[in-house]
């Protein structure tokens, strides 16, 4: 655990990507099994101990520390794990023996219950120093938040053992912590794990945003970027699974899709809801808001299946039968995909059509006119591109439509997490429900925590502290004086919000210190944009 604590400290204090990669790679090379596997699982979000939550830590602290001191300290520090590790009283007498290893901690916490977890966690904390206690709480509650993505951890793994990151991605799925077969393969002790026996996830190919690149439609093909969720369908040995972009299996939420791929294949596409019953949206697809009603359900009723029927708009084919097509160019894969379409149920699958345009100028005009709820923008794919995991420069680009803009008033703020735990960085904003000069109410319409620079973050944090009018637990209400120009992709009607609307991907585009709050936009402006 002490070595893991040192790793966390190093990652928190290291800003550069290469520096973080080196720290993780060194740890994975130098740490024995199973601790390095459990650390890797923690870094990639694959550790979960249901009996241990943040509330468990708070309850332990309530028994050991004055509640006022705890509340003031937690508010000042901004992080439960850090506050608890600093305030935890040193046991008397001091425990004998070495600090617990990650493997020992996993064994203990895996069998803990809600009733036994507090005493077990307390005994482990007593055996650690401040840094170790911080690492243990972060590990046990699954809340590292240290700026390490799963992709970065996999790159570090590849760097540690000098193996291709594409192969790490390929063999990763289907393994479970502490990843013994993966380490045996990477160190040359065993052949790679097999991936052909189960319907396992393959990493998606992703796109770079199109910015200043000069490209030609002679080399690239354009197709719509549909606003659903990217999914992968995998059929192996008579079983089909549906995976989200984050590799989560969502077959139970969309059983009609899982049951509609009857032959061996791995397909890539966009999961959408039929728009016929939603007003006839373009391409037969409803807005993301309609799809959202289906997300996260463990079981789906017949009524929901009928009201919001799902289908997949196919983009690509990775494997057809037993043939892996990922090394082939896009043009070849597209031809194979088109040949597969007649074998699929047209109620559940269709093909993402390419966009005919003479040049980029003509494509820009087509894109500008695509203000439709089901379309996010345009994809540009190099005709010779293989299907590779992650983002590769020059192969695929996403050209999202220009965002919508509206002026909103800051209403509430909350501290962030990780590096932002000391700053108020999560902002809720609203629009006027009528004429503010006539006493109209300000109603929340969205929440954003990015779009500003570090310098602006410090200014915003100071503004919140100096203009707080009320506190609700961790949330501060501010006076209604600061205006944000908010950018967002679309807005939808919502029965869950008092304002009646919900923004899609809101972000702070500009801080409008020059604009008085009563001149911010009214709800009628947002309602007119509803798609």
Distance CA 373, CA 371 (A): 7
**What's the pLDDT at 288?**
78
Helix (H) / strand (E) containing 120: helix 117-126
List the structure tokens of 151: 């992709």
Q: Which CATH superfamily is domain 2-141 in?
A: DNA ligase, ATP-dependent, N-terminal domain (1.10.3260.10)
Question: In this predicted structure, what is the pLDDT of residue 241?
Answer: 96
Q: Which of 143, 144, 149, 197 lies closest to 169 in space, CA to CA?
A: 149
Q: State the DSSP H helix or E strand holding residue 209, giving kind and residue range, or none if neither.
A: strand 208-209
Q: What is the pLDDT of residue 281?
A: 45
- Burial category of 85 from C-beta neighbours within 10 Å (exposed 0-12, middle 13-18, buried 19 and up): buried
**How far apart (Å, rounded) are the C-alpha atoms in residues 482 and 468?**
12
d(CA 96, CA 90): 13
CA separation (Å) from 97 to 34, 94, 118, 265?
20, 10, 21, 54
In the numeric block, which tokens belong to residue 124? 């482990």
305: which 2 tokens? 């299946």
pLDDT in tens, 234-285: 999 999 999 999 888 999 999 999 999 999 999 999 999 987 543 334 568 8
Q: Which of 324, 47, 22 has its CA nearest to residue 158? A: 22
φ, ψ of residue 248 in degrees (nearest 5): -75, 135
pLDDT the model gives residue 491 = 87
Interatomic CA distance for residues 357 and 342, integer angstroms? 26
Q: Name the architecture of domain 404-528.
A: Beta Barrel (2.40)
Q: Which of 206, 202, 149 is nearest to 171 (CA)?
A: 202
> What local confidence, expressed as pLDDT, does residue 373 receive?
62
d(CA 482, CA 250): 41
Please report the pLDDT score of residue 76 as a whole number.
84
Torsion over CA: 454, 455, 458, 462 (sign): negative
Active-site positions read 225
**E strands in 292-403:** 310-320, 323-324, 349-351, 375-382, 390-391, 396-400
- As a CATH number, domain 205-400 is 3.30.470.30
Q: How far apart are CA 124 and CA 1, in angstroms?
A: 11
251's tokens: 């077959």
CA 117 vs. chain centroid, Å, equals 29
Distance CA(289)–CA(301), nearest Å, equals 19
Would you kindly state where each structural domain of the chain is located, as residue ranges?
2-141, 205-400, 404-528
pLDDT in tens, 62-89: 999 999 999 999 888 888 999 999 999 9
164: its two tokens: 């291709």
**Cα 343 to chain center, whole Å?**
33
The length of the chain in residues reads: 531
Which residue, among 440, 453, 438, has the nearest Cα to 409 in the 3D structure? 440
Residue 230's pLDDT is 95
Q: What is the mean pLDDT of each run of 10 residues along the chain (531 residues)?
A: 94 91 97 97 93 94 95 87 94 81 96 96 95 95 83 95 93 93 96 90 93 93 93 96 92 94 96 65 71 81 89 97 96 98 96 95 88 81 96 92 89 86 92 89 93 92 94 92 92 87 91 90 90 68
């Amino acid at each position: 655990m002490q070595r893991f604590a040192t790793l966390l400290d190093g990652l928190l204090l290291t800003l550069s990507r290469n520096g973080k990669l080196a720290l993780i790679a060194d740890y994975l090379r130098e740490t024995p099994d199973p601790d390095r596997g459990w650390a890797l699982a923690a870094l990639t979000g694959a550790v979960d101990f249901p009996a241990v939550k943040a509330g468990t830590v708070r309850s332990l602290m309530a028994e050991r520390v004055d509640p006022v001191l705890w509340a003031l300290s937690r508010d000042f520090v901004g992080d439960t794990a850090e506050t608890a590790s600093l305030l935890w009283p040193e046991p008397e007498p001091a425990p004998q023996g070495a600090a617990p290893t990650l493997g020992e901690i996993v064994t203990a916490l895996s069998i803990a219950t809600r009733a036994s977890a507090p005493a077990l966690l307390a005994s482990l904390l007593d055996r650690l120093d401040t840094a170790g206690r911080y690492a243990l709480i972060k590990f046990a509650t699954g809340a590292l938040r240290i700026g390490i993505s799963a992709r970065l951890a996999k790159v570090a793994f590849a760097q540690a053992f000098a193996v291709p990151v594409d192969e790490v991605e390929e063999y990763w799925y289907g393994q479970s912590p502490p990843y013994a077969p993966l380490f045996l393969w990477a160190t040359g002790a065993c052949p790679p794990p097999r991936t052909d026996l189960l319907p396992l996830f393959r990493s998606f190919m992703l796109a770079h945003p199109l910015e200043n690149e000069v490209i030609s439609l002679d080399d690239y093909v354009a197709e719509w970027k549909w606003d659903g969720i990217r999914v992968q369908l995998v059929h192996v040995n008579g079983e089909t699974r549906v995976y989200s972009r984050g590799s989560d299996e969502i077959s139970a939420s969309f059983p009609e899709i899982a049951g509609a791929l009857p032959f061996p294949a791995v397909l890539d596409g966009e999961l959408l809801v039929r728009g016929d019953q939603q007003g006839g949206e373009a391409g037969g697809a409803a807005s993301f808001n309609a799809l959202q009603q289906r997300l996260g359900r463990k079981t789906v009723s017949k009524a929901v299946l009928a009201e919001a029927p799902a289908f997949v708009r196919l983009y690509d084919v990775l494997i057809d039968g037993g043939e892996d097509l990922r090394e082939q160019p896009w043009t070849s894969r597209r031809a194979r995909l088109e040949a597969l379409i007649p074998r699929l149920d047209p109620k559940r699958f269709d093909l993402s059509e390419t966009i005919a345009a003479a040049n980029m100028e003509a494509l820009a005009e087509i894109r500008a006119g695509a203000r439709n709820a089901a379309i996010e923008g345009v994809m540009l794919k190099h005709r010779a591109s293989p299907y590779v995991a992650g983002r590769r420069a020059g192969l695929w680009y996403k050209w999202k439509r220009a965002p919508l803009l509206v002026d909103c008033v800051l209403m509430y703020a909350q501290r962030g997490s990780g590096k932002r735990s000391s700053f108020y960085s999560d902002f809720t904003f609203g629009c006027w429900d009528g004429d503010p000069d006539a006493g109209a109410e300000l109603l929340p319409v969205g929440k954003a925590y990015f779009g500003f620079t570090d310098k602006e973050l410090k200014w915003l944090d100071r503004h919140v502290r100096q203009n707080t009018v009320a506190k609700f637990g961790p949330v501060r209400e501010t006076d209604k004086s600061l205006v944000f120009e908010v950018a967002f992709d679309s807005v939808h009607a919502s029965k869950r919000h008092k304002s009646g609307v919900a923004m899609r991907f809101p972000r702070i585009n500009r801080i409008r210190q020059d604009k008085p709050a009563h001149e911010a936009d009214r709800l009628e402006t947002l309602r007119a944009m509803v798609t």
